[in-house]
Structure 1
Amino acid sequence: MAGLSSLSGLVYSTDNGRMCPDCRQPMASCQCKAIAAAQAVPAGDGIVRVSRETKGRGGKAVTLVKGVPLNAEELQALGKKLKSACGSGGTVKDGVIEVQGDHCEPVMKLLQAQGFKVKRAGG
């Protein structure tokens, strides 16, 4: 039961609504997200890698874009632009843009047009 105290905490208040589990402030005035967004720019070698993956996806192909040196908000905007250009869905998780389908070539051309140094990774 020693670990229970770290798991217990206020997550919802009838007065303020949802509460941040880290700073225990209402989500509207939470400072954790602002700090995390400012520190979210990954340090890499400056090369954006585009690959195709099917592992763990039921045989469906997904185009992965890794190593983009942008913060979280800019990464979301770039992901949206790539998805709309390819005419498919996708998501942005942990600094990686996932576009549903095999769209490596169009994604690479779009990223090069944006001024990124792009490499094809994987097979």
Structure 2
Amino acid sequence: MSEDNLVYSTELGRIKPVPAKAERAKGDGIVRIQRQLSGRRGNPVCIISGLDLEESELKKIAAELKKRCACGGSCKKGNIEIQGDKRDLLKQLLEQRGFQVKFSGG
């Protein structure tokens, strides 16, 4: 640790600096839908990534997609996870909302 990273406090002496909050990476404007099986006991899950939206908007879109697909899912780390292999329906629904969608992976 170099001297420039240290902060001095009259009460506590030398303290460590608070790391800057990491921001989510910006997407390239393309929404990607990936089907994943590994680590899920053989059950397929569609992961939607590349939506450059706030967390509240992601949760609203995830709730709408779950209703339209009649399945479960969640919103984690800026991605939307939808249970089941519903890539074609998800692509259609996202394109209706004005997103450019591509399939990714296997």
**TM-score in terms of structure 2 length:** 0.76
Instruction: Give the CA deviation at 1:83.
Output: 0.6
1:76-115 aligned within 5 A: 76-115=59-98
The aligned residue for residue 47 of structure 1 is 30
The aligned residue for residue 100 of structure 2 is 117
Instruction: Give the CA deviation at 1:40.
Output: 6.1
SS of 1:84's equivalent in the other structure is helix
Structure 1 runs, 4 residues or longer, greater than 6 Å off = none
Q: Which amino acid aligns with 1:104?
A: R
Task: Name stretches of at least 5 consecutive residues in structure 2 with no aligned partner.
Answer: 1-20
What's the RMSD between the two structures over aligned residues?
Answer: 1.6
The aligned residue for residue 15 of structure 2 is none
Rg larger in structure: 2
The aligned residue for residue 72 of structure 1 is 55
Task: Name stretches of at least 5 consecutive residues in structure 1 with no aligned partner.
Answer: 1-35
Contact 1:41 1:71 in 2 (8 A): no
Using CA pairs under 8 Å that are at least 6 residues apart, name the structure with larger relative contact order, 1 or 2.
2
The aligned residue for residue 17 of structure 2 is none
Q: Which amino acid aligns with 1:87?
A: A
Q: Which amino acid aligns with 2:67?
A: S
The aligned residue for residue 12 of structure 2 is none
> How far apart are the structure 1 equivalents of 2:61 and 2:23?
15
Instruction: Give the length in aligned residue pairs.
Output: 86
> How far apart are the structure 2 equivalents of 1:40 and 1:55?
28
